[in-house]
Amino acid sequence: MLIKNYNNFTNPQSLLLKLINSGIKEVLPKKLVEEQIKKIKINKFNNIYVIGFGKASSDMASGLEKIIGDKITKGIVIDTVKKKLKKITVIKGTHPLPSQTNVNATKKIIQLVSSLSWDDLVICLVSGGGSSLLCYPKISLKDYIKKNKQLLHSGLSIQAVNKQRKKYSNVKGGKLAKIIGTKPMIINLILSDVIGDPLDVIASGPTISKQKNIMNVVIGNNTKALKAVHQKAIELRLKSKIYPKPLTRNVAIESLRISRELRKLKKGQLIIFGGETTVVVKGRGKGGRNQELCLRLINKIKNKNIVFAAVATDGIDNTPVAGAIIDGNSYNTKFDINSYIKNNDSYSFFKKTKSHIITGKTGTNVCDIMVGFKY
């Protein structure tokens, strides 16, 4: 069980946590890389270099080493955690805002892959968070961090945010691919954290280019996680469906859409949502999109036999928790919910009500899983 505080809950809350756990387990990067690399013919290359960036890159690297470790020449990945591997160096960077550590690590990657030959192979491990971790700005780092902070608080979609990031970068938007050049083969193993899997948006697409020496493989995404939740629900003999449209707009809008769907549920029915909502940050509180989404839904499901949970699959909903879980009894007159919403302080609210979902860093990152159930 990936959910560390699972035993703190009872049915029907624990039922939803069991389903969410199945979804996250299905997209753990080590397993996905191990499965994919077995399908790729690598024996024809003299040297294999591994690079990577994102919140799943160290686990992806670990899976790669397990299968082809003896064939790897050298590797460098940038993650938010430190991990000791045999052939691949894992550098711990900062996220969501970049730092000089990230810049230095990016330069090391460039140095590793900038003078390779025709018989070399570059395996690039790409995952969400790579836009911050792989960082080599055209402007001063101070100005670049300021621009990133403004973008992250703007409520813009990840597509819009990464479009702006590319303008000020020496590596994003296919520029790292140009640095590597057309001689070595480049295989991008991609764990998608963007709905629809637009390759140029995931981690800002540093190795996505029209170069003929590039192969792109999406090894995991939000859809894969949602299908696993659905399959587990069927195994548990629940009436389950996946909502067909991803949730990508502001939490204020998406909470209305979710509440409409929850009200349609009949006893014993389950609905699964996927996507990644946005939040316009105006207050000074702590929170994340999943926690704020749950907070906004409390008034809408009060006194109803409905339970709802929302989590970030990376386990970090802009805080040390993955998300939150609520039900028809979560409404409490002791707390002014609107004041918590106004201050973007959902984390404090759910800490007081002991309704956080805690996984720790899962090592994966495929957007969010949201589940509603009428009991």
Residues 69-124 have pLDDT tens digits of 999 999 999 999 999 999 999 999 999 999 999 999 999 999 999 999 999 999 99
Tell me the per-residue pLDDT of 180-231, one tens digit each, with 9 for 90 and over. 999 999 999 999 999 999 999 999 999 999 999 999 999 999 999 999 999 9
CATH number corresponding to 29-220: 3.40.50.10180
d(CA 67, CA 61): 10
Q: Which CATH architecture has domain 6-26+223-374?
A: 3-Layer(aba) Sandwich (3.40)
**Mean pLDDT for the stretch of residues 252-271:** 97
Calculated CA dihedral for residues 202, 32, 196, 181, nearest 10 degrees: 40
d(CA 299, CA 337): 8
Task: Enumerate the domain spans of the chain.
Answer: 6-26+223-374, 29-220
Full-model pTM:
0.91
| Residue 162 pLDDT | 86
Domain 29-220 in the same topology as domain 6-26+223-374: no
Mean pLDDT score across all residues of the chain: 96
d(CA 285, CA 153): 13
Q: Of the candidates 257, 88, 120, 275, which has an alpha carbon nearest to the alpha carbon of residue 184?
A: 120
Query: Is 90 exceeded by the pLDDT of residue 163?
Result: no
| CA-to-CA separations, 132 to 88, 96, 99, in angstroms, rounded | 20, 6, 9
